[in-house]
Chains A and B, each alone.
Chain A
């Protein structure tokens, strides 16, 4: 069962989708309706022209904002957007997200026109302490600059800022900040060179 959908939303991005969901009758099948509806009732803000391939899994207890022209693709595995209470996640305009896991305890901000390859995983918290497993672990916001490209199986840890236009090789684990325009990779990720 594969459905895809491309809708020009008839509303501004500040409005909630649920107000106009009846107007969105351009879906290709009944399932795309259902996916969009399931997504939109969990999202605080939804931009125009969202493209979905299969249904993402959204667990939103905080604040989740999705910009314009975003593609949420879930073909290898469902894209999972998990937002904890009191926390927020923002996906910028024109970003393509393919089978990614975003687990937010604090804050994840993805810039505009980013490309996230399959199986990328964001964790902005340790979720529990090393010793006391019931205590909250350390956490820090993750910020991805505009136009960054993350290769497949990249894992981004807490408190990391990835600069604009940075490129990460597949399979890297990002533990420290990556400067803008850099090419980085490895476990843990090291910067190889900088583009002009």
Chain B
């Protein structure tokens, strides 16, 4: 808790440039803590039926979720719905697992069989992840394949991930890409259908964030 407050204080100082004794700092801090509390309460309300979930799950804005199957969540997962509402659909007998430090920002996730999302994955607005070609239809059962997104991947705006795809560790899926084949580790892909543009260098890949900074 102490580190969380210190971290928030440092962030406010960086954004506004006020000095450490200023009352503005503490007014803003209280506002931020209130917002965090409210987002935590909303997430608890939304995922009340999800038994297997970690600590510090936050939700900003209203999202659309229909969770009939199994869902697992790690710590410090954020659901942000400022640009677009996050849409989660987990069919009966399907499984959706989301690991620690994920940031899900207006993405669309439809699980009919199994979707697993690794640690520190960023999903941008309107990124569409499905594991069935005909979600919700009677034929959906025969057209499914599990989707696996490895740690620290970033799926950019409006990218579509088709069933049966594994996205590698630290991979970046470009804007508007249609991912039809597996993406290797640390690759940047883009286009329709997605092709490898280049690979990330050793210094460039995403790292684990410190715990509180993820908020």
A130, B154: Cβ atoms closer than 8 Å: yes
Q: What CA separation (Å) do A132 and B200 show in the bound complex? A: 13
Q: What CA separation (Å) do A173 and B84 show in the bound complex? A: 19
The stretch from B26-34, B139-147, B169-177 touching chain A is B169-177
B191, A188: Cβ atoms closer than 8 Å: yes
B108 to chain A, nearest CB (A): 13
B176, A80: Cβ atoms closer than 8 Å: no
Main secondary structure of the interface of B (DSSP, over half): loop
Give the interface size class of chain A.
Answer: 20 to 34
A157, B175: Cβ atoms closer than 8 Å: yes
Asked whether any CB of chain B lies closer than 8 Å to the CB of A96, the reply is: no
Asked whether any CB of chain A lies closer than 8 Å to the CB of B157, the reply is: yes
**Which chain A residues border B122 with CB–CB below 8 Å?**
128, 133
| Selected contact of B176 from candidates A133, A134, A155, CB within 8 Å | A155
A134, B200: Cβ atoms closer than 8 Å: no
Identify which of residues 140-166 in chain B touch chain A, using a CB-to-CB cut-off of 8 Å.
154, 157-158
Most buried by B among A131, A134, A157: A131
Asked whether any CB of chain B lies closer than 8 Å to the CB of A152, the reply is: no
B192, A133: Cβ atoms closer than 8 Å: no
A106 to chain B, nearest CB (A): 17
**Which chain A residues border B103 with CB–CB below 8 Å?**
133
A131, B200: Cβ atoms closer than 8 Å: yes
Q: What CA separation (Å) do A59 and B205 show in the bound complex? A: 32
**Which chain A residues border B176 with CB–CB below 8 Å?**
155, 171, 173, 187
Q: What CA separation (Å) do A103 and B84 show in the bound complex? A: 12
Most buried by A among B82, B103, B176: B176
B192, A187: Cβ atoms closer than 8 Å: yes
Identify which of residues 139-196 in chain A touch chain B, using a CB-to-CB cut-off of 8 Å.
153, 155, 157, 171, 173, 175, 186-188
A101, B191: Cβ atoms closer than 8 Å: no
What 0/1 readout, one digit per residue, does chain A (106-132) give for beta carbons within 8 Å of chain B?
Answer: 000000000000000101000010111
Contacts A101-B83, A131-B206, A134-B213 given; does A155 touch B200 at CB 8 Å: no
Apart from A82-B82, A171-B176, A187-B178: 7 A-B pairs, beta carbons within 8 A:
A59-B82, A123-B175, A130-B154, A130-B172, A131-B205, A133-B120, A186-B192
Closest 7 CB pairs of A and B: A173-B176, A187-B192, A131-B204, A187-B176, A131-B206, A187-B191, A155-B176
* A binding-site residues for B, Cβ under 8 Å: 59, 77, 80, 82, 101, 103, 121, 123, 128, 130-134, 153, 155, 157, 171, 173, 175, 186-188
27 contacts between A and B (CB under 8 A): A77-B84, A82-B82, A101-B83, A121-B126, A130-B154, A130-B172, A130-B200, A130-B204, A130-B206, A131-B200, A131-B203, A131-B204, A131-B206, A132-B206, A133-B122, A133-B206, A134-B213, A155-B158, A155-B176, A171-B176, A173-B175, A175-B175, A187-B176, A187-B177, A187-B178, A187-B191, A188-B191
